[in-house]
Structure 1
């Protein structure tokens, strides 16, 4: 998969008192986009529940470059920045663009958890490894 992008639409409730997108909305859109991408790649929430695995985040960071307002047409692109061979650890980058202007970059570092044992785990179902290997990659993609 070369790219995974989505046009975002905002609600009045997404704005802060300064009439631009409030900071937590960026993270919500990133989380939703990751889930949609995994679903599109066959790693559905139902599969995760059946296999007793779930994604967790160690770090979530957003760099805010330009304000985003209610009527702005924003496209989010999601790509894999780093991943180890067994797909147990990863870094994903979301870039939010208004036309060709980069407005924000969200970076998350994550892993997989065994939802029964409540401990970190290497994903054993091949569908996890296949899905993450199918992720679009950044130009600076690196193995962990």
Structure 2
């Protein structure tokens, strides 16, 4: 089991009106950590384009424990918490730490690999599977497509005519 860590220096633009790390910045830091993780493991955009696959996030959720402020350093971890047998579905856990080891937040991100031409879920190349397997958490779960049905939200289409009526 390995954990990947990415270091951030908290910028003024990362802070919200409450003078701590803004919610959208947590999402950005997780996304950047995932891309840095892929790049570090030779799965950058060039390689993904060559394979014709891409990672797509379906669901993210967060828990916050301690505020993070401007000009602080924060480390965001990444480990694979769940993976389908074919690797097409995955879940990362990101933990946010201050340099002294204080755990500030945890994020859980569930995603799939897609064929970028067909826009459909696909099995990733073996090179990706090797990296994903190397970063599995101690308690990694094996998941299936049924796991996706347990995510809390479902599509709920509406009659589009309500948009022409104006906002009430």
Q: TM-score, normalised by structure 2?
A: 0.79
Tell me the residue number matched to 1:53: 53
The number of residue pairs the alignment matches comes to 142
Unpaired runs of 5+ residues, structure 2, are: 144-168
Tell me the residue number matched to 2:158: none
Unpaired runs of 5+ residues, structure 1, are: none
Cα displacement (A) at 1:20? 0.5
Cα displacement (A) at 1:86? 1.6
Measure the CA separation in 2 of the matches of 1:60 and 1:133: 21
Measure the CA separation in 1 of the matches of 2:121 and 2:53: 9
Choose 1 or 2 for highest CA Rg. 2
Q: TM-score, normalised by structure 1?
A: 0.91
Tell me the residue number matched to 1:70: 70
Q: CA RMSD in A?
A: 1.4
Whether contact under 8 Å (2:54, 2:115) holds in the other structure is yes
Cα displacement (A) at 1:134? 2.1
Q: Which has the higher strand share?
A: 1
Find the residue that maps to 1:19 and give its secondary structure: coil
Tell me the residue number matched to 1:26: 26
